[in-house]
Amino acid sequence: MKFLDLARVHIRSGAGGNGCISFRREKFIEYGGPDGGDGGRGGDVWAEAVDGLNTLVDFRYQQHFFARNGQPGMGRQRSGKNGDDIVLKVPAGTEILDEDQETVIADLSEVGQRVCLARGGNGGFGNLYFKTSTNQAPRCANPGLPGVERTLWLRLKLIADAGLLGLPNAGKSTFLAATSNARPKIADYPFTTLHPNLGVVGVDGAEFVMADIPGLIEGAHEGHGLGDRFLGHVERCAVLLHLVDGTSETVADDWRTVVHELEAYGGHLAEKPRITALNKVDALDEETLEERAAELEAATGGPVFRISGVAGLGLTEVLRALRAEILAGRAAEASDAGAGEEDAPWQP
């Protein structure tokens, strides 16, 4: 199945049905009076996050979604039928943006969340509604209100606990394949990974979800390479794992390149907890390994893990560190949510 994380859709809610102008006409009834019914209400357009979806590929082949119009009113005091709603089923983690691709209308981050994107038009009143003691035979009715038509963008941000970062060929896909059942494409040329991959990683009897995104290069925020469009998939992660290729002769510069792109991207991504690991250490001799690890530690100002996805070296220690950061992040979110509930004013 093709991965698609950005789609444009055109939606239109249903128009309300017109009110009816009618008079009761029956044998032996001299003054029947008005009996025109009201028009039905137009259908709404909803978006709902559902389980079992992880891509927006369905919206590549269908971009127009129109709700049903309400039926017009009829004689004998019969109201028109309301139009049927239409529901856009999207994967959890989908953001709904306005046509400018900047204004966020809704963020459906959990399964079951729903949002109304366009309200249907109200139905018009029939002439029975306008009957009064001084106007017993009204010959007027309201038209139904038109529906709402708009263009929206759907942007998917994958739900993952940890995210992988690094330059192309830093070994991110190899690391994901070595620690989970995911099988991303792995090759010895840059940009082998063209779309994000998810894998369920297990350590010490616990599991968490890790996301692997295409590599960043210098100038990615300006559109170089594949750009930074995939960084949105790690915005929701609690921790980032920054892999640096140990076979590179400029490990410190490689680390700074990715960090600079995170800062240029914004969205508090550079402020997230980040763990740095020197990858491919099985291809280095002891002296070179110590030299490059020291250089990277001096650049990061913190500890650096030494791992190898191919040889399976140091993977458990890194996964335990990631798991600890994830648990700490969840505990902080829970405490913030509890504090917010305590500060909220009392309501009956």
Beta strand 274-279 pairing with 197-203: unpaired
Q: What is the pLDDT of residues 295-333, one digit of tens each?
A: 999 999 989 999 998 888 999 999 999 999 999 888 887
Radius of gyration in angstroms for the set of CA atoms belonging to the chain, rounded to a whole number: 29
Domains and CATH numbers, the chain: 1-156 (2.70.210.12), 162-339 (3.40.50.300)
pLDDT beneath 70, residues of the chain: 1-2, 337-348
Return the pLDDT at 344. Answer: 54
pTM > 0.85: no
**Alpha carbons 220 and 261: distance in angstroms, whole number:** 7
**Alpha carbons 345 and 348: distance in angstroms, whole number:** 10
Tell me the two tokens of residue 249.
């002769």
Beta strand 114-118 pairing with 86-91: unpaired
- What's the mean pLDDT when you consider all of the chain? 89
Q: How far is CA 310 from CA 99, 183, 303, in A?
A: 45, 14, 22
Residues in the chain: 348
* Cβ neighbourhood burial of 16 (10 Å; 0-12, 13-18, 19+): buried
Residue 256 has a CB neighbour count (10 Å cut-off) of 14
**Alpha carbons 331 and 85: distance in angstroms, whole number:** 40
**Alpha carbons 151 and 133: distance in angstroms, whole number:** 47
**Alpha carbons 336 and 68: distance in angstroms, whole number:** 43
Smallest CA-to-CA distance from 68 within 151, 141, 124, 147 is with: 147
Return the pLDDT at 64. Answer: 96
